[in-house]
Amino acid sequence: MVKNVVNSFMVIIPSGRAMTGPPLGPILGQYGINTAGFCKQFNEMTAGLDDFEDFLVYVSVRVDLYDDRSFGLFCLKPSVSFLIKLVSGILLGSSKRYRAILNKRDIVKIARFKFTTMNLYSACLVVLNVAKTMGLYLKRKKN
């Protein structure tokens, strides 16, 4: 049986911490979604993303409403630039160069977290290029 999508919307929620109260409850209530079921399903889906480097990770969620009054959740992992900002501790990227912000371990951790299907070398290159556009460079060991 094919379900027809009646409406869809995006919402940003902290991973593993969806609650039925405001601000999420009224948003879901206006569409007639069972907030308790939504929160339970979302928290189960994002249980592995709960903490990345001991920081709170916000997840973008697309909610599709179907004609039989059911819903579908589609969670997206956070962007590479968001993860770099979490790991490096900066608030915004900059065109001026920072020194000694990222190390190899951080780059590999972000690459493994974000790009699970890509090989590790290519994923690390993507993370390095995003860091470069943010004005960050790789910390090198002193000999």
Confidence category of residue 40, pLDDT binned at 50, 70, 90: very high
Boundary residue ending a domain (76, 96, 112): 76
Query: Looking at the structure, do residues 51 and 87 belong to the same domain, yes or no?
Result: no
Backbone dihedral angles phi then psi of residue 21, each to the nearest 5 degrees? -80, -175
* Residue 63 covered by a domain: yes
Query: Looking at the structure, do residues 46 and 96 belong to the same domain, yes or no?
Result: no
Contacts of 26 (CB under 8 A, 6+ apart): none
* 67-103: pLDDT as tens digits: 888 899 998 888 888 888 888 777 665 556 665 467 8
* Residue 32 covered by a domain: yes
* 96-123: pLDDT as tens digits: 666 546 788 889 988 988 898 999 999 9
Cα–Cα distance for residue pair 24/22, rounded to 1 Å: 5
* 54-63: pLDDT as tens digits: 667 888 899 9
* Residue 71 covered by a domain: yes
How far the first Cα of the chain sits from its last, in Å, is: 65
Contacts of 82 (CB under 8 A, 6+ apart): 58
Count structural domains, the chain.
2
Contacts of 28 (CB under 8 A, 6+ apart): 34, 35, 38, 63
Q: pTM score > 0.75 for this model?
A: no
Query: Looking at the structure, do residues 20 and 67 belong to the same domain, yes or no?
Result: yes
Question: Domain of 53?
Answer: 5-76
Check which CATH number belongs to the domain holding 11 and give it: 3.30.1550.10
Boundary residue ending a domain (76, 100, 120): 76
Query: Looking at the structure, do residues 24 and 72 belong to the same domain, yes or no?
Result: yes
Averaged confidence pLDDT in the chain: 83
Query: Looking at the structure, do residues 50 and 87 belong to the same domain, yes or no?
Result: no
* Residue 139 covered by a domain: no
Contacts of 68 (CB under 8 A, 6+ apart): 3
